[in-house]
C-alpha cells in the first residue's frame, strides 16, 4: 500500500511573488505616463503655449526600471538560490532608481522640462513657471514599494524548492535522484520529452 505523500505547499510561493512583482512593474510604468509638470513656452506662430511634460519625458529612467522589474518577473520561475538574490538586487535597484529619479526632477523641474519645451516649441526658454503635479511624488512612493518588495522577495524565497531540472541540472551532469515527492515541474518536463510521469 502506497502512503500518499504530503503536498508541497511551498511551491505556490513562486507564483505569488511573480504576481506581486508583475503588479509593481505595471504600477511603476503607469506612474510615468501622466503629466508630471506643466509650463509655458513661446512659439513663432502661436505665441505663448502650454506644454505638458509627462513622466516618460521628464524621467525616462522610471519606465526603464519598470521594464527591468518585468524582466525580473520572468526570471522568478527559473532561477535557483543565487539567482533569487540577483532578482532581489535588480528589484531593489530599480526601486532606488525610480525614487531617486523622481526626487531629482522635482528638485529641479526647470532643468527637467526645458528640453521638452525646446523640442515642442523650438525655443529653449520657458515663458512661465513650472507647476508640479502629484505624480512625481507618487513615483517616489512606488520606488519605495519596489525596494520593500525586493527585501520581501528575499525572505519569501527562502522556503522555495529549486527550479526544474531543465534549467538547473544536477551537479556532474547526472540526473537528480527521485525524491519520492510529487514534483509538478518535473512532470511537465517529462511530458515535454514524451515520457509518461505516472
Query: Do residues 56 and 98 lie in contact, with contact meaning Cβ atoms separated by under 8 Å?
Result: no
Query: Do residues 149 and 79 lie in contact, with contact meaning Cβ atoms separated by under 8 Å?
Result: no
Cell of 14: 513562486
Mean model confidence pLDDT for the chain:
80
* pLDDT single digits (tens) 70-86: 998 888 777 677 778 88
Query: Do residues 137 and 59 lie in contact, with contact meaning Cβ atoms separated by under 8 Å?
Result: no
CA-based nearest residue to 148, from 70, 88, 75: 88
Cell 518536463 found at? 189
Residue 126 phi/psi, 5-degree rounding, is -80, 145
* pLDDT single digits (tens) 14-67: 778 888 889 999 999 999 999 999 998 888 777 888 899 999 999 999 999 999
Cell of 89: 538586487
CA-based nearest residue to 98, from 154, 31, 50: 31
**Is-above-0.75 flag for pTM?**
no
Amino acid at each position: 500500500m502506497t502512503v500518499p505523500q504530503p503536498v508541497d505547499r511551498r511551491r505556490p510561493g513562486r507564483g505569488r511573488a511573480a504576481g506581486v512583482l508583475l503588479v509593481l512593474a505595471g504600477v511603476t510604468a503607469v506612474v510615468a505616463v501622466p503629466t508630471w509638470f506643466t509650463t509655458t513656452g513661446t512659439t513663432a506662430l502661436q505665441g505663448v503655449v502650454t506644454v505638458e511634460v509627462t513622466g516618460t519625458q521628464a524621467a525616462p529612467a522610471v519606465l526603464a526600471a519598470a521594464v527591468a522589474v518585468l524582466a525580473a518577473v520572468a526570471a522568478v520561475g527559473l532561477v535557483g538560490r543565487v539567482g533569487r538574490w540577483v532578482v532581489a538586487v535588480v528589484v531593489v535597484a530599480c526601486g532606488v532608481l525610480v525614487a531617486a529619479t523622481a526626487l531629482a526632477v522635482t528638485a529641479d523641474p526647470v532643468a527637467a522640462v526645458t528640453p521638452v519645451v525646446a523640442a515642442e516649441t523650438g525655443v529653449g526658454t520657458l515663458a512661465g513657471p513650472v507647476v508640479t503635479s502629484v505624480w512625481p511624488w507618487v513615483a517616489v512612493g512606488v520606488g519605495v514599494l519596489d525596494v520593500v518588495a525586493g527585501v520581501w522577495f528575499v525572505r519569501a524565497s527562502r522556503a522555495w524548492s529549486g527550479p526544474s531540472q531543465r534549467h538547473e541540472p544536477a551537479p556532474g551532469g547526472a540526473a537528480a535522484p527521485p525524491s519520492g515527492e510529487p514534483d509538478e515541474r518535473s512532470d511537465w518536463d517529462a511530458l515535454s520529452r514524451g515520457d509518461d510521469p505516472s
